[in-house]
Amino acid sequence: MELTSAEYQYDPDNFEVTEQMLADYKEHGYIMIRGFLDKEEMTGVKKVLEESEMRSKYGYGIPDGTGKEPKFVIWGHPGNDVTGMIARSEKVVNTSEKLLGGEVYHYHAKFVQKDPRTGGGLLWHQDYGYWYQNSILFPDLLTAFIAVDKCEKANGCLQILRGSHKCGRIDHLPQGGQHQADLDRVKDIKGICPLEYVEMNPGDAIFFSCNLLHTSDTNSSDTRRWVLLFSYNLKSNDALRPHHHPQYTPLQKVPNSAIKECTNYFDLSGKDFLDPDIDKTVKAHKQEY
């Protein structure tokens, strides 16, 4: 497995964000934490994603301009199922608060699916390229990206330009159903900021800045590529106007043990799933899954 530049191993008995982690996040725009969720925690996650009505009732695709599309489910609030316990867990929330430097709230979560051979890619973008349009003034947001399946080059793993968050917000234009960063600027940045393929095992997590340039290719393999993403915004950076993601809502943290103790796999109430028709930043295809 190809390594990234800011790697750490999760220790369930002694984990905290160190000064070195914070320095790496500021320098590289991310930190990788291997083994962030263990096998038992991932078993509960997969039960929700595979057996609940989440995909069938709330899923949709976003075209990538090549005739393919990754599939999404997006929700605004954590809820009380296993994925909600992860979003509210101390290890996710405390890490986000340490990296961003203050109280955070759950901005939204995504379940992204790339089916074998047909799963589409995600174009070069910064998350803030989308979120800037939601009246959020500062790039004080991050995402905790957690691998559900093994992520590798063949099935369209995450790619990042290390350190590109320092370039500031880049212009984005519609492409397919997505928004794409100005490719001339991306080409220039590639000459300075190294490209890294973020290969991950199930349970690995990467926390990355909303201004970090990233992309992912189509899934050309015979294996699926599922990932979970939890995005957080600083309370002090609350959106000025209502939009399709939540404004500041206090987070009720839970101990890390709540993830394994949770047996709610099917009650998805309270998550506030996104209707893509009200999202002005993408063009989605609702479809049968």
Selection from 198, 199, 181 nearest residue 190 by Cα = 181
Distance, in Å, from the CA atom of 276 to the CA atom of 282, rounded to the nearest integer, reads: 8
Positive/negative CA dihedral, 279, 77, 9, 154: negative
Q: Write the pLDDT tens digit of every residue in 37-59.
A: 999 999 999 999 999 999 999 99
Mean pLDDT along residues 238-244: 95
Q: How is residue 119 annotated by DSSP?
A: B
116 — pLDDT class (breaks 50, 70, 90):
very high
Domains of the chain, residue spans: 7-11+23-279
Q: Specify the pLDDT at position 82.
A: 98
pTM (2 d.p.): 0.94
288 — pLDDT class (breaks 50, 70, 90):
very low
Q: Write the pLDDT tens digit of every residue in 8-34.
A: 999 999 999 999 999 999 999 999 999
223 — pLDDT class (breaks 50, 70, 90):
very high
| pLDDT above 60: residue 182 | yes
Query: Pick the residue with more confidence: 80 or 177?
Result: 80
Q: Specify the pLDDT at position 44.
A: 98
Selection from 130, 141, 134 nearest residue 236 by Cα = 141
Q: Specify the pLDDT at position 75.
A: 98
| pLDDT above 50: residue 201 | yes
Q: Which of 88-92, 207-211, 282-286 has the lowest mean pLDDT?
A: 282-286
Mean pLDDT along residues 180-185: 93
| pLDDT above 90: residue 66 | no
Q: Specify the pLDDT at position 289.
A: 41
Mean pLDDT along residues 191-202: 97
DSSP of 208-249, one letter per residue? EETT--EEE----SSS-EEEEEEEEEEGGG--SS--SS----
Q: How is residue 192 annotated by DSSP?
A: T
191 — pLDDT class (breaks 50, 70, 90):
very high
Mean pLDDT along residues 257-285: 84
Selection from 108, 138, 124, 137 nearest residue 171 by Cα = 124
68 — pLDDT class (breaks 50, 70, 90):
confident
For the record, the structure tokens of 153 come out as 């080059």
Helix (H, G, I), strand (E, B) or coil at 173: strand
What is the CATH class of 7-11+23-279? Answer: mainly beta
228 — pLDDT class (breaks 50, 70, 90):
very high
Q: Specify the pLDDT at position 179.
A: 83
Q: Specify the pLDDT at position 283.
A: 54
